[in-house]
């Protein structure tokens, strides 16, 4: 199983995992999902991840473990926390998971992981220049790539526009909370993506998150210089990207 890595995607409500062929970007066998422990505390989540990995790979044949997580992750340390316990802030997550799981673990930001998967195996394959991946969900996650190479930990969802942290107005959660029509939401997305375009002049936007499956209702309403396309790998992107990055970071 030389090409097989474990990918784990930790979210505020669920933890998903699977074996991944990191050469082809495909899920091997079954994808499993369990509930995130109430409170989202580090030790509790680490134990759930340990149990999940035992089920996925009981004979420890996978050569690496990658975990994507809703936080800025700098050299294995989670610098922030979204929809999980604040105990994650400034925690060496690589060390915690490596100790509990008993294998070398590499932790990466969730949007970065999804972007890596899309750039290697999805709609961003062989894309040159500057690509910005955005994930629209509870908030807005972003990942920035130059000629396919990740620039980690860009938090462009928190751009301040008109005096407001704009993910509070343009995330999919805002559409649901305010019961916006697709057209009303698209007006906010237009403002957000136009601002990104003015600041970075990207060649391509990739739009991920669960709502990307409904892309035909809002992406055609946007007018941008750059091409904007829906993500291809959908809910498996984080798992695949985390596994891929971990396989490249084996010590």
Distance, CA of 240 to CA of 43 (rounded, Å): 24
**pLDDT score for 1:** 64
| pLDDT, tens digit (0-9, with 9 covering 90-100), for 13-51 | 899 999 999 999 999 999 999 999 999 999 999 999 999
Topology given in CATH for the domain delimited by 123-231: Nucleotidyltransferase; domain 5 (3.30.420)
Distance, CA of 142 to CA of 208 (rounded, Å): 10
| pLDDT, tens digit (0-9, with 9 covering 90-100), for 82-100 | 778 999 999 999 999 999 9
Report residue 8 as tokens.
């784990």
Cα-based torsion angle of the residue sequence 210, 212, 213, 218 in order, rounded to the nearest 10 degrees: 130
Distance, CA of 170 to CA of 140 (rounded, Å): 8
CA nearest neighbour of 230 among 214, 212, 216:
212
Distance, CA of 246 to CA of 251 (rounded, Å): 10
Which of the four pLDDT bands, split at 50, 70 and 90, describes residue 107? Answer: very high
Length of the chain (residues): 251
| pLDDT, tens digit (0-9, with 9 covering 90-100), for 213-231 | 999 999 999 999 999 999 9
Domain boundaries along the sequence of the chain = 4-111+236-247, 123-231
Which of the four pLDDT bands, split at 50, 70 and 90, describes residue 250? Answer: low
| pLDDT, tens digit (0-9, with 9 covering 90-100), for 165-199 | 999 999 999 999 999 999 999 999 999 999 999 99
4-111+236-247 shares its CATH topology with 123-231? yes
CATH class of 4-111+236-247: alpha beta
């Amino acid at each position: 199983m030389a090409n097989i890595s474990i990918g784990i995607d930790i979210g505020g409500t669920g933890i998903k995992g699977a074996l991944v062929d990191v050469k082809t970007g495909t899920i091997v066998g079954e994808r499993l999902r369990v509930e995130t422990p109430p409170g989202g505390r580090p030790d509790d989540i680490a134990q759930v991840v340990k149990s999940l990995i035992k089920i996925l790979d009981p004979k420890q044949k996978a050569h690496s473990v990658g975990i994507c997580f809703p936080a800025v992750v700098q050299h294995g340390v989670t610098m922030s926390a979204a929809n999980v316990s604040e105990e994650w802030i400034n925690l060496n997550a690589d060390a915690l998971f490596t100790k509990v799981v008993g294998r070398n673990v590499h932790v990466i930001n969730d949007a970065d992981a999804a972007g890596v998967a899309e750039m290697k195996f999805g709609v961003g394959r062989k894309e040159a220049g500057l690509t910005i991946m955005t994930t629209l969900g509870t908030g807005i996650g972003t990942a920035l790539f130059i000629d396919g190479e990740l620039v980690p930990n860009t938090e462009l969802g928190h751009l301040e526009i008109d005096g407001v942290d704009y993910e509070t107005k343009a995330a999919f959660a805002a559409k649901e909370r305010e019961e916006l029509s697709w057209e009303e939401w698209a007006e906010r997305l237009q403002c957000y993506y136009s601002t990104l375009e003015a600041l970075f002049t990207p060649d391509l936007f990739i739009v991920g998150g669960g709502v990307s499956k409904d892309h035909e209702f809002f992406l055609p309403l946007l007018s941008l210089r750059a091409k904007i396309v829906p993500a291809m790998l959908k809910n498996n992107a984080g798992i695949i990207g985390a596994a891929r990055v971990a396989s490249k970071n084996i010590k």
